[in-house]
Chain A
Amino acid sequence: MSPPPAAPRAIRSARVARLARPGALLALLVIAAVFPLVVTNALDTQFAVDTLIYVAAVAAWNLFSGYSGYISLGHAVFFGSGAYTVGLLTEHWKVAGGTIFWLLPLAGLVAAAIAVPFGLIALRVRRHTFVVITIAIFFIFQLLAYNLSFTGGNQGISSPFFLWSAQNYNNPFYYVALILAVGTIALSWLIRHSRFGLQLLAIRDDEDRARGLGVRAMRVKLAAFVISGGITGMVGGLWWFFIGQALPETAFNPIFDVTVALMAFLGGFGTLAGPVLGALILEPLQQWVAITFTNGYTGEIALGVLFLLVILVLPRGIVPTGRELATSWQARRTRRRGGPGAPSGAAPPGSPAVPSPSPSGASSASGGGVQ
């Protein structure tokens, strides 16, 4: 009955915890930065670029949909517009070599400009209606890509050959994708810890009440939508350079919309790390499925089964579920020790009737809380 003094130990572990997070982040960043130098197999680096493209796209999606609660299934509009923008500009200005990457901000601008009228119309409605409107606008854009005179119709737009060597071919794409992904995640973090982010979360929890408290809901939602769309446009532009061709059905791809949403849900909708984690898990898995089942239809079925598994097994996402497990584990440990740090000080220690500290409703509401 004489445990070591609890206080210094707690302080020490708190200090470790405080250092652990930035340390882990730094380590991850270093690993990401040297990855293509260590792994030189072209197929692996290609997977890595694909994955980073999705990490950036999901983080951008989450910045709007995750924080505001408005599920957009129309982000392929921005993705495709970005791809077509850089495609047309490259063709028109005869840009070549590494300078092409400087076109990406332009793609972002075009996508952001499209997001303004899109958002002004779609954000007037909520819930299912919003989702369906985004799908409808998505189809309008796909049909435009097929039918307009300058988009190349069925043929799409092909990208120029790059002159860098085949061995390191993927590396420039890798680093640009990494910059986009890390930049988007950093921006998400900043927004999450800002007044703007709090307003978005308030809209997600109860839009009418947020309005009543003085949040200019339309302006806030639209701003997030435009930022998110702009980034998605840049991602689309990069994707075009990397894949080498944009077709109406691949640039404006309904599966893109659903995949991005699913990645976010897998990791934890509205959290910071969740969508990134979801993309890191799901995109390589999808690539693997695509390679294993060379018959496209079997691959499609496998993809559908994968979706259903994620939805049925992990409906709330990895990060919120994991956090909940950690909290309840910690609570149980503290309770067993009868320590003063028990979350519910009023409850008698060891009482079996102590309610779980995180009932699912409350924690999913605060899962997006500021921490």
Chain B
Amino acid sequence: MGRELTEAIIDGILGGGVYALMAVGLTLIFGVLDIINIAQGILVVLGAYLSYVLAVHLHIDLFVGLLVTVPAMFLVGITIQWAFIRPLRGRERTSMSLLATYAVAIIIEGVLYIIFGANYVNLNSWYVTTGPRVFGFYLDYIYIYGFLLAVVLVAAIYVTLYRTQFGRSIRATMQDHTAARLVGINVNRVQMLTFGIGVAVTAAGGMVFGATGGGFNPNTGYDLISRLLAIIILGGLGSIAGAMIAAIFMITLEGVVDVLWSPSWSVVVFYIALVLVLAFRPQGLLGRKEVRAQ
């Protein structure tokens, strides 16, 4: 039991890093555009399928393939924002954006079903099935590499946000759209690029998820989005550090419950943890109070 628990905790922390990456994309989109991208889950699956196609048909290494899939997903994100998010205006923009991104999600899901079918697939490579012995169990390299990739990408996002001119305009837009526009920031462009970045990280997240999880099919998107939503709410909407902490906490918790109780209840515990935290701290772990304002 002790060994399994250690394994669950280490897997949880490393796997949580990947969720952190996907959740950072989602919370960044929320912060800048004030919408929740319900399609994020299926976009992760789409990213995983892109890696799958490159790996199986063109025999390109999973990590090298990211050089193609990340820009591709960036373009997908920009297109979605331009076609379906930007036209939304007015009072009910929030709810409309939820419905619009949901519609995008079911369209992508249907297309993936038609192309790839409902069979579960896995991303494979030598580092997915081998690894060093840690604390008495084998830890596949992909967990380590995936975690490192997530760390590098999240760090890159952090540096972009806090050390560049573009990052400054993103943060300004997050704080106040109107004021940002007044000081000459092209808010439309910032929103489009942010949506693109938020979606681009799903390519990397999807690749690691597809290699570490127990396989995926188009339906996996629902699983992912419900977890990601719980994570960004728990962390506090719009808070990047909060999303990272919440991701690692929740995924580890899920793994631990898996071992201690039963796999069928681990996801329930996941949501119950969310509901409990919100009952005492409605703005999430690191959220700001203003997020509650109507």
Residues of chain A touching chain B, judged by Cβ–Cβ distance below 8 Å, are 69, 71, 73, 121, 124-129, 131-133, 135-137, 139-140, 143-144, 146-147, 206-208, 254-255, 258, 261-262, 265, 269, 297-298, 300-301, 303-305, 307-308, 311-312, 315-316, 360-361, 364-365
- The answer to whether B95 has its CB under 8 Å from any CB of chain A is yes
Q: Which residues of B contact A131 (CB under 8 A)?
A: 36, 94-95, 98
Contact A69-B294, Cβ < 8 Å, known A136-B230, A137-B271: yes
Q: Which residues of A contact B103 (CB under 8 A)?
A: 303-305, 307-308, 311
Contact A128-B113, Cβ < 8 Å, known A140-B272, A258-B99: no
Q: How distant is the Cα of A207 from the Cα of B294 in the complex, in angstroms?
A: 7
Question: Contact between A125 and B282 (Cβ–Cβ < 8 Å)?
Answer: yes
Flag the segment in B81-89, B120-128, B134-142 that touches A.
B81-89
Q: How distant is the Cα of A198 from the Cα of B248 in the complex, in angstroms?
A: 45
Q: Which residues of A contact B105 (CB under 8 A)?
A: 304
Other A-B contacts than A297-B114, A312-B100, A315-B92, 11 sampled, CB-CB below 8 A, are: A71-B98, A121-B278, A132-B36, A143-B267, A143-B271, A147-B268, A297-B111, A301-B107, A304-B105, A361-B91, A364-B92
Q: How distant is the Cα of A131 from the Cα of B284 in the complex, in angstroms?
A: 14
With CB as the reference atom, state the residue of chain B lying closest to A255: B106
Q: Which residues of B contact A73 (CB under 8 A)?
A: 98
Q: Which residues of A contact B272 (CB under 8 A)?
A: 140
A-B pairs, top 9 by smallest CB distance, nearest first, are A307-B103, A304-B107, A301-B110, A300-B110, A304-B106, A297-B113, A304-B103, A297-B110, A71-B95
Question: Contact between B88 and A129 (Cβ–Cβ < 8 Å)?
Answer: no
Question: Contact between A125 and B106 (Cβ–Cβ < 8 Å)?
Answer: no
With CB as the reference atom, state the residue of chain A lying closest to B292: A126
Question: Contact between B233 and A129 (Cβ–Cβ < 8 Å)?
Answer: yes
* CB proximity of A262 to chain B, nearest CB, Å: 6
Q: How distant is the Cα of A143 from the Cα of B271 in the complex, in angstroms?
A: 10
Contact A206-B294, Cβ < 8 Å, known A132-B229, A140-B271, A265-B99: yes
- The answer to whether B151 has its CB under 8 Å from any CB of chain A is no
Question: Contact between B264 and A147 (Cβ–Cβ < 8 Å)?
Answer: yes
With CB as the reference atom, state the residue of chain A lying closest to B112: A297
Q: How many A-B residue pairs have CB under 8 A?
A: 148
Contact A316-B98, Cβ < 8 Å, known A136-B226, A146-B264, A301-B110: no
Question: Contact between A298 and B95 (Cβ–Cβ < 8 Å)?
Answer: no
- The answer to whether B145 has its CB under 8 Å from any CB of chain A is no
* CB proximity of A99 to chain B, nearest CB, Å: 35
Question: Contact between A307 and B294 (Cβ–Cβ < 8 Å)?
Answer: no
What are 23 sample pairs from A and B whose C-beta atoms fall under 8 A apart?
A: A73-B98, A124-B279, A125-B283, A127-B294, A129-B282, A131-B95, A136-B226, A139-B226, A143-B271, A146-B264, A208-B293, A258-B99, A265-B92, A269-B92, A297-B110, A298-B114, A300-B110, A300-B113, A303-B106, A307-B103, A308-B84, A311-B100, A312-B84
Q: How distant is the Cα of A305 from the Cα of B109 in the complex, in angstroms?
A: 12
Q: Which residues of A contact B222 (CB under 8 A)?
A: 254
- The answer to whether B96 has its CB under 8 Å from any CB of chain A is yes
* CB proximity of A75 to chain B, nearest CB, Å: 14
**Per-residue contact bits, chain B 255-294, to A (CB 8 Å; 1 contact, 0 not):** 0000000001101100110110011001110000001111
Q: How distant is the Cα of A213 from the Cα of B29 in the complex, in angstroms?
A: 35
Give the residues from 20 to 64 in chain B that come closer than 8 angstroms, CB to CB, to chain A. 30, 36
Q: How distant is the Cα of A311 from the Cα of B87 in the complex, in angstroms?
A: 10
Q: How distant is the Cα of A255 from the Cα of B110 in the complex, in angstroms?
A: 14
* CB proximity of A255 to chain B, nearest CB, Å: 8
Q: Which residues of A contact B293 (CB under 8 A)?
A: 126, 208
Q: Which residues of A contact B36 (CB under 8 A)?
A: 128, 131-132
With CB as the reference atom, state the residue of chain A lying closest to B276: A121
Q: Which residues of A contact B283 (CB under 8 A)?
A: 125
Most buried by B among A305, A308, A364: A308
Give the residues from 146 to 167 in chain B that come closer than 8 angstroms, CB to CB, to chain A. none
Q: How distant is the Cα of A17 from the Cα of B264 in the complex, in angstroms?
A: 60
- The answer to whether B237 has its CB under 8 Å from any CB of chain A is yes
Question: Contact between B91 and A136 (Cβ–Cβ < 8 Å)?
Answer: no
Q: How distant is the Cα of A270 from the Cα of B40 in the complex, in angstroms?
A: 29
Q: How distant is the Cα of A135 from the Cα of B275 in the complex, in angstroms?
A: 11
Question: Contact between B99 and A143 (Cβ–Cβ < 8 Å)?
Answer: no
Q: Which residues of B contact A208 (CB under 8 A)?
A: 293-294
